[in-house]
């Protein structure tokens, strides 16, 4: 089961990444047609964590974090490392030492479909991690995986160089070639929502703002003035 | 699968709701004879969230939040919206725009056996939500459910107008007609606990305060001065 | 199903406990040869919780916290109570009243393979608890278990008097007779990590610091300059 | 936490129960407007298990099967016992001895939101059980619950005397007063499906039989003759 | 959220599919370098289920099986339908009527990251299904998805026309262009295993057949003649 | 993380093992005072699987089955191999080739807190396995663990040479030195149950056979002749 590590990958443009970084994950997911969202088991290790960058992808073996060391060398400033494992595993594959290395190399964060440890230290460092588990369980360095190949992480297919955005709501992947288009759609969406927000705050109803009353009636919703008597 | 929305429902009295709001969920659950507690999968989206109010009930479809817009119109100041879904689902059915609308209409919070999104925004707004998942996953508005009908949410049967109280420990439902009785029982319980707390803090043992030593002996507990030698 | 409660147990020495208390759970787990770690379902009830002490062990019955009252009497200053249940259960077996009693008796914290309640109060008290659930669900006092007998908690065998250390990363058990040895190994490990941390922060790679490049090549890792063309 | 046991309850009529017993759970659930289905964690202990009868309801305590003995006396021929527990629990509350007693009293089966044991013996006896776990774990008889009161089991509110139907697909509850109406709707549904089945078996498409093509086009489905070129 | 349905897709060759169909999933997964295996939550609805064919892919919405009707038309003899849903969902999206249609159109089976119903009927028909849940829960036909686009199902990226093989051990995906190569590797593997099996059955040890003793010693394994005395 | 393999271990006597083998797991668990039962996630790979023997214990690494080959050499006729992994893992660590080897060496079965594959083949061979997962996922042979040391498997502490009994209801461990005593207690229990079974089959109630009526009344159970009117 030998693996490969790819040194140079095409990355989404820095301007597009910065444009995307202004939006939350929920907005980006909607702007992209409700696609690209990782499963909700992926949670930030501290409240308020947020990051956006280009993906360096990693696939490893359960209980083995060797490939994260390989990834550290291939990271460029602005990257987010995204790792999956060949089988469900929650071991603490990443901690404060690797975070020190990742930060020194310019990584903005880590998304890992496995476990994370040293979460107290990482919180103090404000190094953001999204993982499916927190565990002090250490790992071996025995079996080779791959870096910068296409992977599936938490239910989403991701290519090296795609954009990864993450916040309190989860993690979304924007394909490299769609970055500009999705940033534009997100901006349009957010602009429209400002007006909606103002009207909702004033007490107007979504039923009226979105014109839902007819569709509800047609779909069979009946209003009653009082509860029906129980049978 | 047409549905109904009931405009006017009998609600627990405001004075009873305020009386219940002074107690934590654990106390109310005990005061009510250890009933009415939702399953512990229902968690607040931020630490310290707490609310108490009268239930506007909603049942919807997985991946579809249409009925929350219908509920927004039927909310009255002091209500808490309680939503379940016809099958297990963790989609982000509620976010900051709906929270803006709910707050404008007087809702005190949301209890939803599904997912929530925009949790960073909702935390800044201090709009309390209890959900079984956090997910940026958006929903459609395609299938009709019902509002203000009896539902089962997270294992508890609830009628519109019942009292819902929620805090860091979970969510409890107090039937409308029992509100006054449970508030009184909670007050009595809390008063008794103050004296117990004082004695425990002084180093007295529950074994003595509650008089448990005889019952333990009768139930077969044996004290040994030293560990038995291993077999 | 009668039980026993052992009054006097051999405990790890106070100096060893204090030596161990200086290290995080991840470090102790590594220093001990990657053993003794409880399953990651055991989570602190508030961020930043940490404690280290000698174990008073408890085994009880699902939905029944009677034995925690028995344990309160057997606690000595510096102890951590560790409880398991004879079957998976998430009921709120421990709350603010028992914490008041435990603190008055000198307990430093609780590790419980079941549920905890009053987490708001416990956070304000800064009484640290690690549990597999948070639930307001109250418990009965009807069936006898045992205190200060060997138990298995969250996958780890633990004897009364062993050292228990817990923080944001989880819970680790250090056998009583290994306490001094593990403290020394942890100190050695931490010392070595300081130098590694400094070098990683300066941008050196783990690949070079740990000398991994040859082993990776031998294990079959191949570097490519560009992504392979897709098949 | 004292409880009640109700000796006499109104039951759905025997003719209606027999009419409902001719249909599978999926058909009854549809005929009832897609309501009344227990959560899919409720599984039969052997393939091909099926039963239909009137509910004797039980609520007990985790790890405690005392109330099943109380229920045994209140069972009448044609009943199905439906038990829930006040907190999630998978203990083996029911085994071959209780099944012998239940069968002698006329019970047709058991639905239990907890665990079951002796599944080899129960399979040989062909005594059908639906449970959320299989476990040899024994239970105590220490705390009182109730029999023949309204309960929530696996997400569904059920009253004593309602009809319970169960097969390989799960468990559905039909309220007592709706039994005749749902049986009629199920018969109508099944009749219609026979013709649909014949046409589908002949190679006709659901798209044509149900006239879906226009609605799909209106909803935005686009047919392509070939895969789009990858971006 | 409009979707697309692709009528014509390139499929793996029939001879390659038949060659692959001779091997079990575990062998194919190994022969392919331990890749392509779906998560183990995907289970057959009856013991002994097995199938192998070319994938018609489907992505739908939670609680909505509309796109399976669209897929039925695009199936060709020898296909296996592979469906995922945009969020975790266990509803019974597929039952005996759709199976009748699928079989009439030539489909060999279904792999669905959601629920299945009518499992008694499907077992009698011997129509094999792999799903993550069994549930009688019915679905709506309200929201459009896509057919024959690349999807991720149970953690594996799959393109229309890839080979899908499934048996009691799970589901594996073989990319269309690797079908011949993997079939050859599987045949070579199985041939080698025959000799190994014969030697193991005769009592020889894997330690000797695979020559593991040196590697174990180098990795630090120590043999003791007796258990060490307990510390 | 070097390991040890112990060649010679004290084993429970063959006569005691055969005496225990006559009873089901539920009976043995009760006879032993309701202790020693593994968590119910441990399920047999086929219905009707049963075995009883002396434990050869194994601890390995997630995704790595190397130590099962070491165990094969240390197995003696009448043993059952019991393996755990240092972190939760469901990989298919055991299949038909290892079963062929195990059977040739005299092993009666396998209990593994991880995954199993080739379940179709194993069923045909009638080689019984209890595991927490079924998965075709292959494993590496890279990291050393230990054989015949004390382990915790599925929540139970087990020493090499203890008795392991397993059937459809789960897996129970009987400590080596308690084997004779537990066999005697199980025989006594089963004898008593025969008379109880006869009486229950004749329609007598457990309430009377076990004399529960007084205790129920004292515990607060109230009988009502009719349902209370709803509040």
| Residues of A whose CB is below 8 A from B1 | 220
Q: Above 90 in pLDDT, residue F27?
A: yes
Q: Above 70 in pLDDT, residue B231?
A: no
Q: For residue B87, what is the nearest residue in chain E, using CA coordinates?
A: E91
Distance from CA of E213 to the nearest CA of B (A): 36
Q: What is the mean pLDDT of residues E34-47?
A: 97
For position F229, what pLDDT does the model report? 79
For position B91, what pLDDT does the model report? 97
Contact across the interface for E157 and A155, Cβ inside 8 Å = no
Q: Could you give the CA distance from residue D145 to residue D93 in angstroms, rounded to a whole number?
A: 14
CA-nearest of A119, A117, A111, A99 to A154 is: A111
DSSP conformation class of B64: B
Mean pLDDT per segment of 10 residues, for chain A of length 231 residues? 90 98 98 96 97 98 97 98 96 98 98 98 98 97 97 98 98 98 97 97 97 96 90 47
Distance from CA of D119 to the nearest CA of A (A): 30
| Residues of E whose CB is below 8 A from C178 | 231
Q: For residue E23, what is the nearest residue in chain F, using CA coordinates?
A: F118
For position E231, what pLDDT does the model report? 47
Q: Above 50 in pLDDT, residue B45?
A: yes
Asked if residue B192 belongs to a domain, the reply is no
CA-nearest of D132, A112, E94 to F40 is: D132
Asked if residue D220 belongs to a domain, the reply is no
Distance from CA of A16 to the nearest CA of B (A): 21
Q: Above 60 in pLDDT, residue E1?
A: no
Q: How many domains is chain F built from?
A: 1
Q: For residue D92, what is the nearest residue in chain C, using CA coordinates?
A: C87
Contact across the interface for F97 and E197, Cβ inside 8 Å = yes
Taking phi first (over 0 means left), then psi (-120 to 50 degrees means alpha), and beta for anything else, what does residue D154 get?
Answer: left
Between CA E36 and CA E41, with CA E39 as vertex, the angle to 5 degrees is 150
Asked if residue B34 belongs to a domain, the reply is yes
Q: Could you give the CA distance from residue B59 to residue B86 in angstroms, rounded to a whole number?
A: 7
Cross-chain CB nearest to D86 (options B34, B88, B152): B34
| Residues of A whose CB is below 8 A from F88 | 88-90
Residue D165's Cβ-side half-sphere holds a number of Cα atoms within 13 Å equal to 28
- Model ipTM value: 0.95
Q: Above 60 in pLDDT, residue F87?
A: yes
Residue given tokens 């006017």 in the structure block: B8
Q: Could you give the CA distance from residue E93 to residue E112 in angstroms, rounded to a whole number?
A: 9
> Would you say the C-alpha torsion A119, A121, A123, A126 has a positive or negative sign?
negative
Cross-chain CB nearest to E8 (options D26, D215, D226): D226
Best F65, F93, F101 member to test E by mutation, with max E CBs in 10 Å, is F101
Q: How is residue A111 written in tokens?
A: 């998304």
Asked if residue E148 belongs to a domain, the reply is yes
CB atoms within 10 A of CB C143: 23
Mean pLDDT for all residues in chain E: 97
Domain interval for residue E130: 14-185
A-F interface: how many C-beta pairs under 8 angstroms? 51
Q: What is the mean pLDDT of residues D79-83?
A: 98
Mean pLDDT for all residues in chain F: 97
For position A2, what pLDDT does the model report? 72
Best F155, F162, F185 member to test C by mutation, with max C CBs in 10 Å, is F155
Best A157, A170, A189 member to test E by mutation, with max E CBs in 10 Å, is A157
CATH code of the domain containing A70: 3.50.30.40
Pairing of strands D43-44, E79-85: unpaired
Q: What is the mean pLDDT of residues E59-84?
A: 98
| Residues of F whose CB is below 8 A from A117 | none
Asked if residue C229 belongs to a domain, the reply is no
**b/e map A48-58, b = 16+ CB within 10 Å:** ebbbbbbbbbb
Q: Do F147 and F119 touch, CB atoms closer than 8 A? A: no
Best C35, C170, C203 member to test A by mutation, with max A CBs in 10 Å, is C170
pLDDT digits (tens, 9 = 90+) for A125-149: 999 999 999 999 999 999 999 999 9
Asked if residue F193 belongs to a domain, the reply is no
Contact across the interface for E86 and B140, Cβ inside 8 Å = no
Mean pLDDT for all residues in chain C: 97
Which chains touch B (3+ CB pairs under 8 A)? A, C, D, E, F
Distance from CA of A170 to the nearest CA of E (A): 13
Distance from CA of E55 to the nearest CA of D (A): 14
Q: How is residue B27 written in tokens?
A: 């106390």
**Residue D147 three-state SS:** strand
Q: Could you give the CA distance from residue F40 to residue D90 in angstroms, rounded to a whole number?
A: 8
Q: Do F79 and F53 touch, CB atoms closer than 8 A? A: yes
Percent of chain F with pLDDT over 90: 97
Q: For residue A231, what is the nearest residue in chain D, using CA coordinates?
A: D177
B-D interface: how many C-beta pairs under 8 angstroms? 21
Distance from CA of B59 to the nearest CA of D (A): 11
Contact across the interface for B89 and E62, Cβ inside 8 Å = yes
CA-nearest of D59, D98, D56 to D77 is: D56
Q: What is the mean pLDDT of residues D35-59?
A: 98
Chain E contacts to C (CB-CB under 8 A): 175, 177-178, 231
Asked if residue D7 belongs to a domain, the reply is no
| Residues of A whose CB is below 8 A from B136 | 24-26, 29, 37, 169-170, 172
For position F1, what pLDDT does the model report? 47
For position A231, what pLDDT does the model report? 47
Contact across the interface for F142 and A137, Cβ inside 8 Å = no
For position C230, what pLDDT does the model report? 61
Q: Could you give the CA distance from residue C2 to residue B46 in angstroms, rounded to a whole number?
A: 43
Cross-chain CB nearest to F89 (options A1, A89, A140): A89
| Residues of B whose CB is below 8 A from F178 | 231
Asked if residue B121 belongs to a domain, the reply is yes
Q: Could you give the CA distance from residue F227 to residue D121 in angstroms, rounded to a whole number?
A: 35
Indicate the pLDDT class of residue E230, thresholds 50, 70 and 90.
Answer: low
* Residue ranges of chain C with per-residue pLDDT less than 50: 1, 231
For position E2, what pLDDT does the model report? 72
Q: Do C163 and C179 touch, CB atoms closer than 8 A? A: yes
pLDDT digits (tens, 9 = 90+) for B190-209: 999 999 999 999 999 999 99
pLDDT digits (tens, 9 = 90+) for B143-195: 999 999 999 999 999 999 999 999 999 999 999 999 999 999 999 999 999 99
Regarding pTM above 0.95, the answer is: yes
Contact across the interface for D86 and C137, Cβ inside 8 Å = yes
| Residues of A whose CB is below 8 A from D177 | 231
Distance from CA of A74 to the nearest CA of E (A): 24
Pinpoint the alpha helices (H) of chain B: 14-21, 25-31, 66-74, 96-105, 119-125, 179-201, 206-209, 213-218
Chain D contacts to C (CB-CB under 8 A): 1, 61-64, 86-91, 135, 137, 140, 142-143
Q: Could you give the CA distance from residue F80 to residue E127 in angstroms, rounded to a whole number?
A: 37
Indicate the pLDDT class of residue D229, thresholds 50, 70 and 90.
Answer: confident
Contact across the interface for E169 and F123, Cβ inside 8 Å = no
| Residues of D whose CB is below 8 A from F203 | 104-105
For position F231, what pLDDT does the model report? 47
Q: For residue A89, what is the nearest residue in chain F, using CA coordinates?
A: F89
Q: Do E128 and E166 touch, CB atoms closer than 8 A? A: yes
Q: What is the mean pLDDT of residues F21-50?
A: 97
pLDDT digits (tens, 9 = 90+) for E146-184: 999 999 999 999 999 999 999 999 999 999 999 999 999
pLDDT digits (tens, 9 = 90+) for D90-112: 999 999 999 999 999 999 999 99
Q: Above 70 in pLDDT, residue D23?
A: yes
């Amino acid at each position: 089961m030998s693996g490969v590590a790819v040194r140079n990958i095409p990355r989404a443009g820095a301007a597009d990444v910065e444009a995307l970084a202004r939006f939350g994950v929920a907005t980006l997911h909607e702007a992209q047609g409700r696609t690209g969202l990782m499963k909700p088991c992926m949670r930030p290790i501290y409240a308020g964590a947020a990051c956006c960058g280009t993906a360096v992808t990693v696939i490893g073996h359960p209980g083995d974090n060797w490939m994260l060391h390989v990834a550290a060398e291939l990271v460029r400033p602005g990257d987010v490392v995204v790792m999956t494992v060949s089988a469900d595993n929650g071991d603490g594959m990443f901690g404060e030492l690797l975070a020190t290395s990742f930060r020194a190399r310019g990584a903005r964060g880590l998304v890992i479909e496995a476990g994370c440890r040293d979460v107290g230290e990482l919180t103090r460092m404000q190094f953001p991690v999204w993982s499916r588990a927190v565990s002090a369980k250490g790992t071996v360095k025995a079996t080779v995986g791959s870096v910068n190949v296409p992977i599936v992480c938490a239910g989403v297919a991701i290519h090296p160089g795609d954009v990864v955005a993450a916040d309190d709501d989860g993690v979304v992947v924007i394909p490299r070639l769609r970055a500009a288009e999705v940033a534009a759609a997100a901006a349009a969406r957010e602009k429209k929502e400002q007006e909606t927000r103002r009207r909702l705050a004033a007490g107007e109803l979504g039923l009226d703002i979105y014109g839902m009353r007819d569709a509800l009636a047609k779909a069979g919703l009946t209003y009653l003035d009082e509860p029906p008597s129980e049978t």
